[in-house]
Amino acid sequence: MNQIPPTNKYRNIDFYNKDGLHISHMLADSANINMSSNDLNAIGSVVVRSDSGLVLHTDTLHWNDQYDMINTDDSIMFTTPSNDTLYGIGFESDVDLTHWKIYKPWGVTERGFNVGDQ
């Protein structure tokens, strides 16, 4: 596997959609890139901020270039512009954080909601 060792050179990454529009930004302590697949592994204090205001915090993150998806098996904290804070262990999403899945989730919301008729 042809891989660049972890470095802070790739720790500040911008993601763009297929039309070339900026959709999110990632910051990490360090990252490495697999030169044969263009996949990226970010390590340490990883934060992904979408342009829509969603924010993901985790310790490690993998970006799959072929599928344009990010994922982690680590603990996460995910916040929304509506002040919702979701936690979990394991996460996967597209890079603009619009289609996401949290594994083993729990969270806090500031919004009211109806539980339903009982």
Is position 116 within any domain? Answer: no
Is position 1 within any domain? Answer: no
Res 113: pLDDT = 64
What is the chain's alpha carbon radius of gyration, rounded to the nearest angstrom?
15
Question: The CATH number of the domain where 62 resides is what?
Answer: 2.60.450.10
Is position 69 within any domain? Answer: yes
pLDDT in tens, 12-71: 889 998 899 999 999 999 988 888 898 999 999 999 999 999 999 999 999 999 999 999
Is position 118 within any domain? Answer: no
Res 7: pLDDT = 53
Is position 2 within any domain? Answer: no
Beta strands in the chain (DSSP E): 12-16, 22-27, 30-33, 40-50, 55-64, 69-79, 85-94, 100-102, 106-108
59 touches 45 (CB < 8 A): yes
Is position 27 within any domain? Answer: yes
Helix (H, G, I), strand (E, B) or coil at 39: coil
The pLDDT-based confidence of 80 (bands split at 50, 70, 90) is very high
Domain count, the chain: 1
pLDDT in tens, 89-118: 999 999 999 999 999 998 877 776 666 655
